Structure 1
Amino acid sequence: MFELNSSVDIQLPKPAEVVTLPSDMSCHDHGYAQIVIGLKGQSEFEINGYGNRVGPGQGCVVSAGANHAFGGLADQTDILVLNLPVPSVDESVVLQQIYDLSKSEVYFHIDERLNQIIRLLSQEMALFPEDTLLSKACHDTLVTMLFRHMTRNVSVIKESRFDLAVIDNYIESNLSRRITIAQLAGSVFLGESQFHCRFKELLGMTPHQYVLQKRIEAARSLIDQGGYTLGQVAELTGFSGQSTFSHVFTRLQGMSPSVYKKRIQ
């Protein structure tokens, strides 16, 4: 399973496994590195005394021997764990480089294309948890793909992690869905209260107001393009219904979406 009894015991569990985290924090260390990827819900990790959140589309590298605590923050929090064998002289260069990378205790984001692959493989492993060949095949595939991704997109721990470009990308990628402050905070590895205060301090508005603004900007773009009913625009931009969309659009734009649509036609 996910935990070993001692940091000197380097006998590996399965190469790759889907784990449901308990809500209470657990703590351990082990003599091998791990890549942890969020699948469902939000988890909190603390590696060598430094904490961050990991949710879907995010991950972290736990270095060998690093004391780390972890726990789920939702009713069900699932993660994918890739357990990395200690590299030998005969091991691949990729594995050795990931071990070198893990010394920085890094957190990283995963793009949507790779995240789709991770979800599909994780679903297979969840269906067949005892299939060791499947576990090994998924491990080898994902370790290779993740290494290429991580060397381009890794985010080393630093004091200021507020990155508006990352936040905007998360909003744009999830515009048709409900977006919570916890999800936005998790996209830049910040706690909710810290994220909320920092956001308002830098942008002069709340995260909720900012998301609404982004939804309306996208709605205007869709109306400008033509070919969509107002109901379709509301759905594509994440509003619960056309009446809610119309109310917010009117409040922020000073006119209803139907009036705006007539003006540009």
Structure 2
Amino acid sequence: MNLIETVLIRPAEVITLPNEIQHHDHDHHQLVIALNGNSEFSIEGMQNIIIPGQGCVVTASSDHAFNGLGFAEILTLNLPTESQLDNYTAQHIQPLIHSNQYFKLDTQFQILLQLLVKEMRQAPDDILVAEACKNTIIALLQRHIKTDLSKKNRINIEVIDNFIIQHITTKISVAQLAGCVFLGESQFHLLFKQQMGMTPHQYIMQVRMNLAKQLLEDRSLTLAMIASASGFANQSSFTHTFTKFQGTSPSRYR
């Protein structure tokens, strides 16, 4: 990296990702943390969807692609290579950038992150603030992340449930659920079916049906309103699916 590149690269910045897939590499390490919305990353072929509270490490010269799934904001921390660091700083950074990986932040760190990002938003052109925020994150991050989650044999269903409920009114893909627990789509599908006795799509539909049955108890809600709140495109689709799964129409169930 030459001097001009060093000057131009900000230590930390909040970026809104494009929906179109971008593809590049760079000669510095980078930490990426999702702030708002969902984004898709592929690092040397290792693909995941990251949601707020999750992130990834992109090591220097690693080929990677990324895009936002709708509106998506990320925080990027641009880190120099080991040869450009003093020994003390290198000791903090080295455990983080030894390989490309995805990680999850604990709740305590997410609260701190929100405060740091707020400071950066209030002073977007202040390099000193950006540097201070980056250094704070680097100093504390190693104690507050969980990595290599894909090696676990069981899926955290609570995480899956939370994602489904938060996005119940939209179309939910298996890839999105797999990204929540840092698994590839095919591996997630296999483990999920082994653990739950049904496919992810069947599970999503079960959650939608359970919500719909709860909403049907409120007679002030129309079937069209319930269909929308449960994530169906229209009342006709809702009625057809509900009847198929429950053996009776929504009107008769009510």
Q: Is the TM-score greater than 0.5?
A: yes
C-alpha distance 35-180 of structure 1, shift in aligned 2 (>3 A): same
In the other structure, the counterpart of 1:82 is 77
Work out which of the residue numbers 45, 48, 53 in structure 2 matches 1:53.
48
Q: The residue matched to 1:68 in structure 2 has which SS?
A: coil
Q: The residue matched to 1:81 in structure 2 has which SS?
A: strand
C-alpha distance 145-110 of structure 1, shift in aligned 2 (>3 A): same
Amino acid at match of 2:239: S
Q: Contact between 1:45 and 1:52, CA under 8 Å: does it hold in 2?
A: yes
Work out which of the residue numbers 35, 40, 62 in structure 2 matches 1:68.
62
Q: Supply the distance in 1 between the matched residues of 2:132 and 2:220 (Cα, whole angstroms).
A: 44
Deviations 1:115-144 (A, max 9, x none): 9959x97xx69xx9xx522x6646755875
In the other structure, the counterpart of 2:168 is 175
Q: Mapping of 1:55-134 within 5 angstroms?
A: 55-57=50-52, 58-62=54-58, 68-72=62-66, 79-84=74-79, 100-103=95-98, 107-109=102-104, 131-133=124-126
Q: Which runs of 4+ in 1 moved over 6 A?
A: 9-12, 73-78, 85-91, 145-150
Q: Contact between 2:51 and 2:180, CA under 8 Å: does it hold in 1?
A: no
| Aligned Cα root-mean-square deviation (Å) | 4.5
Q: Contact between 1:45 and 1:54, CA under 8 Å: does it hold in 2?
A: no
Q: Contact between 2:153 and 2:191, CA under 8 Å: does it hold in 1?
A: no
Shift of 1:198: 3.3
Runs of 5+ unmatched residues, structure 2: none
- TM-score normalised by L of structure 1: 0.65
Q: Contact between 1:35 and 1:60, CA under 8 Å: does it hold in 2?
A: yes
Is the counterpart of residue 258 in structure 1 residue 213 in structure 2? no
Q: Supply the distance in 2 between the matched residues of 1:214 and 1:175 (Cα, whole angstroms).
A: 9
Q: Supply the distance in 1 between the matched residues of 2:187 and 2:149 (Cα, whole angstroms).
A: 16
| Alignment coverage as a number of residue pairs | 238
Q: Contact between 2:93 and 2:138, CA under 8 Å: does it hold in 1?
A: no
Amino acid at match of 1:36: V
Q: Supply the distance in 2 between the matched residues of 1:255 and 1:139 (Cα, whole angstroms).
A: 61
Q: Supply the distance in 1 between the matched residues of 2:220 and 2:137 (Cα, whole angstroms).
A: 38
Q: Supply the distance in 1 between the matched residues of 2:186 and 2:2 (Cα, whole angstroms).
A: 35
Q: Contact between 2:30 and 2:76, CA under 8 Å: does it hold in 1?
A: yes
Amino acid at match of 2:152: S
Shift of 1:234: 1.8
Deviations 1:77-100 (A, max 9, x none): 875312257886998xxx976764
In the other structure, the counterpart of 1:200 is 193
Is the counterpart of residue 220 in structure 1 residue 221 in structure 2? no
In the other structure, the counterpart of 1:36 is 32
Shift of 1:203: 3.0
Shift of 1:68: 3.0
In the other structure, the counterpart of 2:151 is 159
In the other structure, the counterpart of 1:231 is 224
Is the counterpart of residue 13 in structure 1 residue 4 in structure 2? no
Q: Supply the distance in 1 between the matched residues of 2:227 and 2:167 (Cα, whole angstroms).
A: 14
Q: Supply the distance in 2 between the matched residues of 1:252 and 1:242 (Cα, whole angstroms).
A: 15
Q: Contact between 1:162 and 1:188, CA under 8 Å: does it hold in 2?
A: no
Shift of 1:55: 2.9
